[in-house]
Structure 1
């Protein structure tokens, strides 16, 4: 089990070792697993929808206006999270993912804590996110960090919308 105190949370791109491949691998795993959980069998990144494939192949462009946080254990990328640029006092957290081999050690909590701190430092009043209803562990984590279920802004079935204000 990994102790999150050993994990460094870095902003990407930034003054870090080159982690593009590690970030791409995390995003690929996230999207492939999500599609599988939705019952859509996608064998490889090439089979993902264009918008997801673009995040994996060119995250610098896909997230140009956003902040990408990467959890590093040594020089290995073990988790990631995206915080969208503030708009109307709100930001959105997306793409929270921890490599399954490193789960249970506080990496997701550390990423979320860094994301919430970043949002507060940038004057964001409300942080929102959406999560598939079957990801009960993630929902419990979000609730522990003060997020509550709110009216949906997304019409996809089985998607739970949550937010944290203040």
Structure 2
């Protein structure tokens, strides 16, 4: 059995994530929790909006041009993050999620750090993200990592947009 304290961040550039990566399960947990926090809880993946279901059902197709970062404890995926392909000199960080059983170990910080490194390697000048305003701990983490609140590019209410130079 793998040492549960050791977590490694792996990149998936140049190839689509595999069904064996555990990404679909992490994305399902992320989207189900988000729906619940919005006050729109659903019983399972089938109740999610189609745009989220397709990420879970076929992450290989949805994220084919992006870099998927996975946090692994042994062979088990315990966290994920997606760095989008650059657009107009920026990449976006999306779908940051850590399995609740592994929280408090610096996994989210490590994933964001790896995302910033990936973005820097791809030549972007900035990384942006959006986060729901009720996710105060996530906002605090992003601020600790140098992100600042910026003008919104998304019309959804209660969404905080942040950006950081690379």
TM-score normalized with structure 1 length: 0.92
Counterpart position of 1:126: 126
In 2, the alpha carbon distance for the partners of 1:128 and 1:41 equals 27
Give the C-alpha shift of residue 14 in structure 1.
7.2
How do 1:26-45 and structure 2 match up within 5 A?
26-45=26-45
Partner of 2:112: 112
1:19, CA displacement in angstroms?
5.7
Query: How far apart, CA to CA, are the structure 2 residues paired with 1:12 and 1:120?
Result: 16
CA-CA distance at 1:10 after TM superposition: 1.0
Say which SS state the counterpart of residue 123 (structure 1) adopts. Answer: coil
CA separation of 1:122 and 1:13: change in aligned 2, threshold 3 A: closer
Deviation at 1:22, TM superposition (A): 1.5
Q: 1:13 to 1:165 in 2, by over 3 A?
A: closer
Superposed displacement of residue 12, structure 1: 2.9
> Counterparts of 1:13 and 1:109 in 2: how far apart (Å)?
20
Match of 2:140 in 1: 140
Matches within 5 A, 1:1-166: 3=5, 6-12=6-12, 20=20, 22-166=22-166
* C-alpha RMSD of matched pairs (Å): 1.7
* Aligned mates of 1:14, 1:115 — CA distance in 2: 15
Deviation at 1:110? 0.6
**Runs of 4+ in structure 1 displaced over 2 angstroms?**
12-15, 18-21
Shift of 1:21: 5.6
Unaligned 5+ segments in structure 1 are: none
